[in-house]
Structure 1
């Protein structure tokens, strides 16, 4: 078996054992066995709810000033009561992403020796089994090139394929019907539910599935079912379209047209075009972390062994890394209409049926979904998020004015398919005033990795400039400390004891650490960009003055990095969120070489979180731990976290989950951020490019003593290939796609590095540099 496959020697009996395929918009989670197979169909835009105005209880700055006075006077209880009256709107028709339907295939014959595979190099899921000594095959893929999901079924003997197919809707309204010729099953539906909306509004969908029999056999369709009898081979074509973003009725015919075009093209050409389109992205990065005998075992067995402490399987970590890239390509393509949500591009029908929602959580989850995008050479996958941020910034102007009486734009903890930007419906977690800014700083990241000057001047700077306008208008000088602070706001989604010995949980305060770090990054980036572009001199002066008044990062009385402006007692020392460590990872205000005292304080914070009783063992937290330890150049601790994530917080199909009990969940729920955050952490352990350095193998663990990678990306439009052996770098090649300078760092050595666009540089184990010219594609 290829190392770059997930494979299993048994059927999948439930969703969490399935294998995912996706084309950047529509997706299928495929599970089943010999007699039955289910494709759980999802679509990024299939949302309940609608865009609607969110009324504010605040008159603006006058109310904000009065509200802040409670916090300046340390009257947190009254301050939180007032905030609930002014800044806690009703939920309304916020909505949630919903699954569309199940495609259910029933097979006439029993089977044995079931083998299921997901090939990461071709993005094709296969099922093979035997019936009376004859092999039966199914393979399925989601084509981005042609906008369809396609499945081929065949037997080694004539007349070996007999099955039926039907559709089961997953929402309150769903209908399917047969076309007269019997080969087509059409459907329409609407994303309706009554937990996150009123049950009467939501995106509509329409589509169909067409069955083609090859090599004999008969097809008949009736009562919402298509049946194929005694064919040698069959091909199924599935497509879906929604009315999201459309005006008029043309969208209703789009799926049917794509199915017709796909059938006319033919399966072989569809398959070849799909692989070429997918592989052009996937093949950019290769990673080897070492060989192991366990690589030949089924994937679920490898995960079980890791969970039991048998971690002599470096190839499993490489598989997990490439799986994260696979999931990015499946869910986020350059033309995707929306970005990845809480469950990426899938939907297990659990998060959307409870208070969680399958939405855009802007206080770590969606940010983490995109942590690996640039480093793992999938920059195009960032673009749907860039467009979403633009929509968020446009809608956020109303939130800034209506709730705070301020210029610019703001968004908070959660958002939806229509760019919801108001505070959420509970201040204890919903009043995260920098949620929109946190996600918007991905604009900066995209620029730093690509150095796309047009993107900087036309997209990144205009959006972030308006975010800066909000915070310049919104922030206030603290009357006791004389620092410019945000607030009232939260440190997501944590609480504190405002008074020593108090048992009361307080959530709101002024100037949380996360807010201050994000605002500092925003102001400095806007100032540097405005100076570079020669724009907005008055704004430049405002920013310089504001930067000088921002609070510094602080170390608390117990040696920890403070989470709040004041050194409050933690009410939940076991809490899952590490937002105040944002300055360590993914940002880079804290580094061991430039800020050693703050680095040690960050380590104390990490140790305290892990050593506390009832530590919340959550997938995104573990991924964040791994990233933070990587930034502290502690490869062994980072490796421990990745091992825990893969072995203890992933289903057998390597999708990460949140344990029962978190946020009221009654069962393990798939959450995408663990996969993406874990992938980002692995890349970070191998290559870092911040704080003016290009750091090679910054956090290499002993278990990955030998290996190689190619195609990882770094800030400054650089690409790195590297080989190491017995824990030492043997050599590296850096490809430059722009001109610039940085500092190379490796194993305690440093060397200045100037590079020119279109050149490659070979670097030996002593950091000696030689140059050669390459031709850029």
Structure 2
């Protein structure tokens, strides 16, 4: 009896269809899982220890005001910057006498006197040094009244919300710190809270490497830091001057930052006039605003600049009209439409979702 080849072909075809269906089903399940991962996986950086140096700190910013938060539990550090604080003053940066030394430099090079040619070029033919971006200063939050070991520590930066968070347990109390920089209200907002009333004891201070003064306005309860940034030396009046930055009266960018504390429960303490403290508070919200006298590339920021005090006070008064939750909501309404325009999926798996950022 001859074999029925049509039956074999039918069986093979049915087997192929079955395998294809199974393969497509597995692919569909894989796509569904990846889709869920894309939706559910939080876009966040998180760590089990505070930052030890600047490169480990987490950045916050709104395009003008910036901060690096370290997530420390004894003395938290926010390193601050403002985008117009540079070593700046208007000047003509052309070196009009450079051509006078060109022939001599060429002769020295032709004669093999390279070192002599280099000295001539460096001394007489170069323009002034480029300007340098300057730090605004440091905001330090010193926590007191507890010295026990820290447990269950975690710090994170949630890219989906541009909000940083630090959480840990100390002496049975869970402490939480949230922070963000709002483009809508132009302030750094920091919220300290605990799950036991009266547990927040914190002292805030402002420091800067520049010539500045810090004082506490007791009436407003505002800590103010004001100062002036450095400039480059004038080459025309001092051609042999070092290229290092210097401080001059009526020159350089003037700056000011103001820190307001909103204390819930507990009491406010004024210390030595250089610090702002909250004692046995339930929660504390800090608002920091900053501005400079920069008024354009062609205006001397020392004598023709804006008044940073007016700008800062206006910003801080406006932001203080809202509580922390309202400020955060305004921040998210501004941030999310921009952030949500683009999504990136790097092939993360469920296993890596719960792995801390640094391994």
CA contact (8 A) 1:49 1:197 kept: no
Q: How does 1:28-427 map to 2 (within 5 A)?
A: 28-54=67-93, 55-59=95-99, 75=110, 81=117, 84=121, 88-89=125-126, 91=128, 94-108=130-144, 109-110=146-147, 111-171=150-210, 173-181=211-219, 183-192=221-230, 196-200=244-248, 201-214=251-264, 216-223=265-272, 224-245=274-295, 247=304, 249-292=306-349, 293-301=351-359
Q: After superposition, give the CA deviation of every residue in 1:672-704 in whole Å (9 maximum; x if it has no partner).
A: xxxxxxxxxxxxxxxxxxxxxxxxxxxxxxxxx
Distance 1:35 1:112, change over 3 A: farther
Query: In the TM superposition, what whole-angstrom CA distance separates every residue of 1:229-288 from its partner, at most 9, and x where no partner exists?
Result: 111111100011101116455332111111111111222221112122222222111111
Q: CA–CA distance in 2 between the matches of 1:76 and 1:283?
A: 64
SS of the residue corresponding to residue 270 of structure 2 reads: strand
**Higher alpha-carbon Rg:** 2
CA RMSD of aligned residues (A): 2.9
Kept in 2, the 8 Å contact 1:96–1:196? The answer is no
Aligned residue for 1:147, secondary structure, equals: coil
Please list the CA deviations of residues 589-641 of structure 1 after superposition, one character each: whole Å capped at 9, or x if unmatched. Answer: xxxxxxxxxxxxxxxxxxxxxxxxxxxxxxxxxxxxxxxxxxxxxxxxxxxxx
Residues 212 and 50 (structure 1), Cα distance of their counterparts in 2 relative to 1, 3 Å cut: same
Aligned partners of 1:212, 1:240: CA distance in 2, in Å? 18
Secondary structure, counterpart of 1:287 in structure 2: coil
1:85: Cα distance to partner?
7.5
Distance of 1:120 and 1:232 partners within structure 2: 28
1:132, distance to aligned residue in structure 2 (A): 2.7
In structure 2, the partner of 1:12 is: 51
- Whether the aligned pair in 2 keeps the contact of 1:165 and 1:227 (CA below 8 Å) is yes
TM-score by length of 2: 0.73
Superposed CA offset, 1:1-51 (max 9, x none): 954111011122332221110111111111142222000111121112422
Q: Any conservation in 2 of the 1:182–1:219 contact (CA below 8 Å)?
A: no
Shift of residue 69, structure 1, vs aligned partner: 8.6
Q: Deviations over 1:543-582 (max 9, x none)?
A: xxxxxxxxxxxxxxxxxxxxxxxxxxxxxxxxxxxxxxxx
User: Aligned runs of 1:720-739 on 2, under 5 Å?
Assistant: none
Q: Distance in 1 between matches of 2:187 and 2:121?
A: 47
SS at match of 1:239: strand
* Kept after mapping to 2: 8 A contact 1:34/1:114: no
CA–CA distance in structure 2, aligned partners of residues 248 and 241 of structure 1: 11
Tell me the number of residue pairs that the alignment of Structure 1 and Structure 2 aligns. 292
Pair 69,96 (structure 1): closer, same or farther in 2 beyond 3 Å: closer
Q: CA deviation at 1:145?
A: 1.2
Q: Deviation at 1:180?
A: 1.8
Q: Which structure 2 residues correspond to residues 320-719 of structure 1 after superposition, within 5 A?
A: none
- Aligned-pair CA distance for 1:191: 1.6
Q: Which runs of 5+ in 1 are unaligned?
A: 302-777
Listed as ranges, the gaps of 5+ residues in structure 2 are 1-39, 232-241, 296-300
**Alpha-carbon deviations, 1:192-219, whole Å to 9, x = none?**
37863333242110121000012x1101
CA positional deviation for 1:122: 0.6
The structure with the largest strand share of the pair is 2
Change (3 A) 1:68 1:227: closer
What is the rounded CA distance, in whole Å, between the counterparts of 2:244 and 2:131 in structure 1?
A: 5
Could you say which structure has the higher helix fraction? Answer: 1
What TM-score do the two structures reach when normalised by structure 1? 0.35
Q: Is the 8 A contact 1:25 1:43 kept in 2?
A: yes
Q: Report the CA distance between 1:170 and its aligned residue.
A: 2.0
Name the structure 1 match of 2:14: none
